[in-house]
Structure 1
Amino acid sequence: MPKPVIAIFDVGKTNKKLFLIDEEYKIVYERSAKFVETLDEDGEPCENLESLISSVYDSLHQVQKMEEFEIKAINFSTYGASFVYLDANGKPLTPLYNYLKAYPAELSKEFYAKYGGEDKIAQETASPILGSLNSGLQLYRLKKENPAIFAKVKYALHLPQYLSFLITGKALADITSIGCHTQLWDFNKNDYHHWVKEEGLIEKLGEFTAADTSLDIDYEGKKYKVGVGLHDSSAALIPYLENFNTPFVLLSTGTWCIALNPYNQEPLTQAELKQDCLCYMHFKGKAVKASRIFAGNEHEQQLKRIADYFDRAAYIFKHLKFNAGLFLKLAAKVPENAESVKAFTAVSAFANRDLSMFKTAEEAYHQLIYDLVKQQVYSLKLILNTGVTRIFVDGGFGKNAIYMHLLAISLPQIEVYASSVSQATAIGTALAINDAWNNNPVPTDIIELKYFSAIQRTV
């Protein structure tokens, strides 16, 4: 008898994956693809949309033929801040522009002057000023720079909703995409911002649909429940929301270290926005206050500096254990270790440290991690609020014993856990429409936790 599964398309900037996930939330099949980027009309690199479309259809066609599985539902998660512009026949009108593409300074100046200034728009939309990463401004740019193409646009769909459109033929908008650093959504009014209405964009954004909605679709002679798609960062939070009732912060660590607090709906202040805070959107439509630092990137750069200086291979640092005695020696050697970070900075204090002050590479690496942790604690405190008792650290730093011990020492009033969810984004995307395809209760063992206890904190 075939195993019931949900098919999840998880599209990142680098890897495009298809997962089949069973009713116990075990990944039973995985297929991955990578595409060579193409160029837009300005010669800028961008996603190869044609390859992506072909991959979705080909991958789905392949797993439909697998007799050991019965696909009950399909859903999608992708990176954010990317629009696909469709004509009346559902055909893309432009390349899939890269959200890192430079935004014209004069057009930005014109927009903010027209609608009340950068500070006002940023605060109302819970979106720092990020150029093309504010995807609403991409649509504004198309209208101003290419009105002939804009006039042909029937729908502007964020990438997750476009992938859903490929299967359903329904043009939809979802809050996890619309509400995440797009400058489209007014968090105070819980509605599209007035500039979106004044520019006549709403009718192009598709029918507003709840992120946990599924549609009954006949596709190639088979019936499926098909989701509307989710922004990947919001999807990755869902396993934690489903498994824990006690208020928590998820610290997702990678190139960026992003702290997500789904229990803080306080409006962002100007000071918080200037310190790189923003709001994501909970798949149930609540604001998720977030702060972020570029710590993973700095870790890689400074690790290379340490490795080169001490003539050590960089990979050995991944296996270093926390050395409490070494940490105590650093407290005497680096007086500011006893002080908390007083202001937001783009990089930690380690970037300016003279490596000759350290006797060994291990000593220097402990100091690097402590400097990053101190910066992280400052960033965390921007979004922490009363009632949060746990921090879950996933990603690269969650596997770093030195980082986890020092974070636990630095936050003695909060339980600190290293956590891991295998393919959290894909699992969360399946969970968003669990009730549409799965008759079983959500498993309680999706997340693996390692608690850094009070004993471990003691130095």
Structure 2
Amino acid sequence: MKKKVTAVFDIGKTNKKFFLFDKNFKEVHKEYISFEEIEDEDGHPTENLPALHKWLKDVFNRIINAKKFDIKAINFSTYGASLVHIDENGKPLTPLYNYTKPLPKEIVSSFFETYGPKEAFLKTTGCADLSMLNSGLQLYWLKKMQPEIFSKIKYTLHLPQYLSFVFTGIPISEYTSIGCHTALWDYEKKDYHSWVYKEAINKILPPIVSTETSINMNYNGSRIKIGVGIHDSSAALLPYVRSIKKKFVLVSTGTWSIVFNPFTEKPNSETLFNKDTLNYMRINGKAVKATRIFLGNEYKLQVAKLDEYFGAKEDFHRSVKFDFNIYSEIMLDFKHCYKWESFSDENMPDETQIRYHKYEYAYHQLMMELVLLQVKDIKGALGENSIARIYIDGGFSNNDIYIKLLSHHFRGKKLSTTDASLGSALGAAISISDNKLNSKFLKENYALKKHVPFIVSG
């Protein structure tokens, strides 16, 4: 008997991965590839879409033809803020413009002159002013700057839905892709923003379906359920939403540290404006309040400076564990010592001041200051909600000092870490599965570990 599996393409900016999961969501096959970026017409680096298209088909056809597995379903998880504009024959009309590509200032100015004021617009759409990262503005830019190309667009698809389209030929839109800071969605109206209708952009956006939608198709003689795709951040959140019955926030750490609150009563449009407070969407269209900080990036920069200052080896910081005596000594006369490079903070000094002769002390000071920033972000995402559970995944979940300090700051809450290395791929598999997840899922699949705060005497 061939093993029944769900296939998932998990497409990151760097690595493109392909997974097969069994009925218990255990990984049974994995392969990955990366492509050299190509350039768009302005010389800006971008995804090699033709190579990606070919790889998707080659990998899938090879696995089916090998007849080792019985593929019952396939889904797609990708990075967001990326659009594919196709003509009436389903062929892409433009490169897959990179979300790092700057929009012309005059386009951004013209947009906000027409549809501003800016702050009110960004609040309503749950965005920060991120230029091409607000992928909806790409359509405004194309309409104004490349009207000939724009006139040929039959449909504009978000990247996860384009990958689904490659296999089904059916154009669709879904909530998680629309909801990731695209500037397309009005979180108050729960519909496309009025600018989308005024510019007639809605005519090239395919019908919206639930992220859990799948299309049953005969693919090369096999009956396969094909998913509509999902934005990777929302996919990574899904296993938690499906397996945890009580309210929680998820702190997903990496280059960006993003705090997700899927149980917000108030979308960001109803709170104070903050450029690092965004909305995402759950698979059912409900708002997810998110706060973000460039924490991993800042950590990397500051650790490199500490290594140089103390003459330490590059990975020495990984061996430094929480030391209560060092922590207590620093707390006796706590002052902010680090000047941040990735962002500014009201408490930071004009210049970094290393006050200690030992690496371990300076590193503890660094982590204490970074964790204060993280605490502020978590409180921002929590808002007034009485949520008692905090889950941490990603790079910092293995940092002993980070976890001990967070547990201390949130000692009235239950703090747990998980190892979610398969996060977005697993979320994509779960989103099209009929299987119910139980409360043991995170323990069995995500190495769930609970943490207790340290005890401060006196």
Say whether the fold is shared (TM-score over 0.5): yes
Please list, as runs of the form range in 1=range in 2, the aligned pairs for 1:431-450 lying within 5 A after superposition. Answer: 431-435=430-434, 444=441, 445-450=444-449
**SS in structure 2 of the partner of residue 309 of structure 1:** helix
For residues 52 and 347 of structure 2, what CA distance do their matches in structure 1 show? 38
Residue of structure 1 aligned with 2:356, choices 358, 361, 373? 358
* Correspondence 1:2-401 to 2 at 5 A: 2-268=2-268, 272-335=272-335, 345=344, 349=348, 352-355=351-354, 357-384=355-382, 385-401=384-400
Q: Distance in 2 between matches of 1:442 and 1:52?
A: 37
Q: Amino acid of the residue matched to residue 239 of structure 1?
A: P
- TM-score (normalised: structure 2): 0.94
| 8 Å contact kept, 2:128–2:275 | no
Q: How many residues are treated as equivalent by the alignment?
A: 449
Q: Distance in 1 between matches of 2:275 and 2:330?
A: 28
Offset at 1:350?
Answer: 7.8
Separation (CA, whole Å) in 2 of partners of 1:213 and 1:124: 27
- CA distance in 1 between partners of 2:17 and 2:99 (Å): 21
Name the SS of the counterpart of 2:13 in structure 1: coil
User: Structure 1 residues 332 and 269 mapped into 2: Cα distance closer, same or farther (>3 Å)?
Assistant: farther
Does the aligned pair in 2 maintain the 1:127–1:273 contact within 8 Å?
Answer: no
> What is the CA deviation profile of residues 51-89 of structure 1, one whole-angstrom value per residue up to 9, with x for unaligned ones?
100010011011112333100000001000000010000
Secondary structure at the counterpart of residue 98 of structure 1 = coil
Q: Describe the shift of the 1:9–1:416 C-alpha distance in structure 2 as closer, same or farther (beyond 3 A).
A: same
1:407 is matched with: 406
Q: Verify the 8 A CA contact 1:103 1:132 in the aligned structure 2.
A: yes
C-alpha contact (below 8 Å) 1:408/1:452 kept by paired residues: yes
Moved more, 389-398 or 376-385: 376-385
Offset at 1:441?
A: 7.2
8 Å CA contact 1:350, 1:371 repeated in 2: no
Q: CA deviation at 1:114?
A: 0.5
Superposition deviation, residue 442 in structure 1: 9.1
Alpha-carbon distance between aligned partners in 1 of 2:290 and 2:86, rounded to the nearest angstrom? 32
CA distance in 1 between partners of 2:336 and 2:439 (Å): 47
Deviations 1:282-335 (A, max 9, x none): 112110000000010000000000010000012021122110000001112424
Of all paired residues, the percent bearing the same amino acid is 43
Instruction: Give the secondary-structure state (helix, strand or coil) at the position aligned to 2:265.
Output: coil
* SS in structure 1 at match of 2:43: coil
* Letter of the structure 2 residue corresponding to residue 393 of structure 1: I
Whether contact under 8 Å (1:78, 1:159) holds in the other structure is yes
Counterpart residue identity of residue 353, structure 1? T
The one-letter code of the counterpart of 1:409 is H
- Distance in 1, matches of 2:118 and 2:50, equals 36
Check whether the contact 2:264–2:385 (CA below 8 A) recurs between aligned residues.
Answer: no
Contact (CA 8 Å) 2:254, 2:394: kept in 1 or not?
A: yes
Deviates more, 1:130-139 or 1:261-270: 261-270
Deviations 1:125-146 (A, max 9, x none): 1111110000000111111100
SS of 1:164's equivalent in the other structure is: helix
What code does the residue aligned with 2:110 have? E
When structure 1 is superposed on structure 2, of 386-395 and 188-197 the one drifting more is 386-395
Q: Which runs of 5+ in 1 are unaligned?
A: 338-343
In 2, the alpha carbon distance for the partners of 1:441 and 1:267 equals 28
The DSSP-based 3-state class of the residue aligned with 1:274 is coil
CA distance in 1, matches of 2:437, 2:403: 35
CA contact (8 A) 2:180 2:281 kept: yes
**Cα distance between partner residues in 1 of 2:29 and 2:456:** 43
Q: In the aligned structure 1, how far is the partner of 2:350 from the partner of 2:402?
A: 17
Change beyond 3 A, Cα 1:422–1:294: closer
**1:99, distance to aligned residue in structure 2 (A):** 0.4
Partner Cα distance (2:121, 2:71) in 1: 43
User: 2:160–2:228: 8 Å Cα contact kept in structure 1?
Assistant: yes
- Shift in Å at residue 440 of structure 1? 9.0
| Structure 2: gaps (5+ residues) | 338-342
In 2: Cα distance, 1:203 partner to 1:219 partner: 30
Instruction: Confirm or deny: 8 A CA contact 2:336 2:347 kept in the other structure.
Output: no
* Structure-2 change in CA distance of 1:319 and 1:65 (3 Å): farther
Cα distance change, pair 236–222 in 1 and its aligned pair in 2 (3 A): same
Amino acid corresponding to residue 243 of structure 1 in structure 2: S
Relative to structure 1, is the Cα distance of residues 131 and 212 closer, same or farther in structure 2, using a 3 angstrom cutoff?
A: same
Contact 1:25 1:443 in 2 (8 A): no
Give yes or no for contact 1:17–1:30 (8 Å, CA) kept in 2: yes
* Change over 3 Å in CA distance of 1:275–1:328 after alignment to 2: farther
- Which residue number in structure 2 is paired with residue 341 of structure 1? none
Q: Any conservation in 2 of the 1:349–1:371 contact (CA below 8 Å)?
A: no
Inter-CA distance 130–270: structure 2 relative to 1 (3 Å threshold): farther
Q: TM-score, normalised by structure 1?
A: 0.94
- Structure 2 counterpart of 1:155, one-letter code: Y
In 1, Cα distance between equivalents of 2:346 and 2:295: 7
